[in-house]
Amino acid sequence: MSARGTFIVIEGLDRSGKSTQAGIIHKKLAERFGDQRVKLIKFPDRTTPIGKMIDSYLRSQSDLDDQAIHLLFSANRWEVASSILSDLQNGITIVCDRYVYSGVAFSASKGLSFDWCVAPDVGLPSPDVVLFLDISPEAAKLRGGYGEERYEKEEMQRRVRENFKQLGKEQKTTKEESWVEIDAGKGLASVTEDVWTAVEKVMGQQAEDVQKLWMHRLKQS
Report the site for ligand DGP in 102-121 (rule: CB under 6 A). 102-103, 106-107
Tell me: does residue 146 bind ligand DGP (CB under 6 A): no
Pairing type for strands 93-97 and 129-134 reads unpaired
Among 45, 79, 134, 149, binds ligand DGP (CB under 6 A): 149
Tell me: does residue 17 bind ligand DGP (CB under 6 A): no
- Between helix 49-58 and helix 66-78 the angle, nearest 10°, is 140
Helix (H) or strand (E) holding 93: strand 93-97
By 3-state DSSP, what share of the chain in percent is helix, strand and coil, each rounded to 5? 50, 15, 35
Helical H segments across 143-206, by residue range: 154-174, 188-202
Q: How far is the CB of 194 from ligand DGP (least distance, A)?
A: 20
3-state secondary structure of 104: helix
The pair phi, psi for residue 181, each rounded to 5°, is -95, 130
Written as one letter, the residue type at 45 is D
Torsion of CA 179, 180, 185, 189, to 10 degrees: -140
Q: How far is the CB of 43 from ligand DGP (least distance, A)?
A: 6
3-state secondary structure of 86: helix
Cβ closest to ligand DGP, residue 95 vs residue 203: 95
Q: How far is the CB of 114 from ligand DGP (least distance, A)?
A: 13
Tell me: does residue 6 bind ligand DGP (CB under 6 A): no
Tell me: does residue 70 bind ligand DGP (CB under 6 A): yes
Q: How far is the CB of 74 from ligand DGP (least distance, A)?
A: 7
Q: How far is the CB of 58 from ligand DGP (least distance, A)?
A: 5
Cβ closest to ligand DGP, residue 124 vs residue 203: 124
Positions that interact with ligand DGP (CB under 6 A): 14, 43-44, 58, 70, 73, 98, 102-103, 106-107, 149, 151
